[in-house]
Structure 1
Amino acid sequence: MHQYTINASIQIVPIVLDKHPYLWVDDAIAIIQQSGIKYEVTPFATILEGTYEEVMRVIHQVNEFLYQKGCAEWIANLQIQIRSTWNITGEEKTGKFKMENEEGNTKY
């Protein structure tokens, strides 16, 4: 696969009773944070940005972590956008909708 930047979203939906599902999601986000890949946590999914290989490695690490830590069952919803000849970034797609409030914080 090429070395252009791609976007992906991953949403983990734990189907468990052993602990609150958010705790499993928090663990999955920690794996993403430790990966060094560019990411953005949103209320429904985490957006990943990197090369195809980097993004797929992180997705694999998240699923492997959940498996190794004993998460009984989960759904991993994925969306991936790839361009064959140049980078695709989240900023390109959503930047025009962001604005800053008076405190300098980004509002969506």
Structure 2
Amino acid sequence: MHTHIINASIQIVPIVLDKHPYLWVDDAIAIIQQSGIKHEVTPFATVLEGTYEEVMRVIHQVNEFLYEKGCSEWIANLQIQIRSEGDITGNEKTEKFTTRN
């Protein structure tokens, strides 16, 4: 895969009874924060931005963490946008909606 910037969103939906699902989600977000990859936490998903390899590595780390820590079941909803000939950033898609005071 190329080395252009891509963006993706990941939403973790734990299907658990052992503890509140938000606690598993908080742990997943901590993995993303520790990765150093550019990200934005939103109420429904976390948006990641980096090379394809970087983004996929972080997604893999989140899933491995949940598995290793004993999360019994979860759904990982992913959206990935890739542009073949250059970078695609979240900012280019949302900057026109940013309010400037």
Alignment TM class, shorter chain as reference: over 0.9
How far the C-alpha of 1:10 sits from its partner, in A, is: 0.1
1:98 Cα deviation after fit = 1.4
- Which residue in 2 is equivalent to 1:49? 49
Within-5 A mapping of 1:17-56:
17-56=17-56
Matches within 5 A, 1:1-108: 1-100=1-100
Aligned equivalents of 2:100, 2:84: Cα separation in 1? 33
The whole-number CA distance in structure 1 between the counterparts of 2:34 and 2:64 is: 15
Unaligned stretches of 5+ in structure 1? Answer: 102-108
Identity percentage of aligned residues: 85
Structure 1 CA distance for aligned equivalents of residues 35 and 26 of structure 2? 14
Distance 1:26 1:96 in 2: 30
Q: Aligned partners of 1:20 and 1:13: how far apart in 2? A: 11
How many angstroms apart in 1 are the aligned matches of 2:25 and 2:75?
11
- Whole-angstrom CA distance in 2 between matches of 1:6 and 1:96: 19
- Letter matched to residue 54 of structure 2: E
Deviation sequence 1:42-82 (CA, Å, 0-9, x none) = 00000000000000000000000000000000000000000
Q: Tell me the distance in 2 between the aligned counterparts of 1:25 and 1:98.
A: 27
Offset of residue 23 of structure 1 = 0.3
Q: How many residues align?
A: 101
Q: Scaled by the length of structure 1, what TM-score is found?
A: 0.92
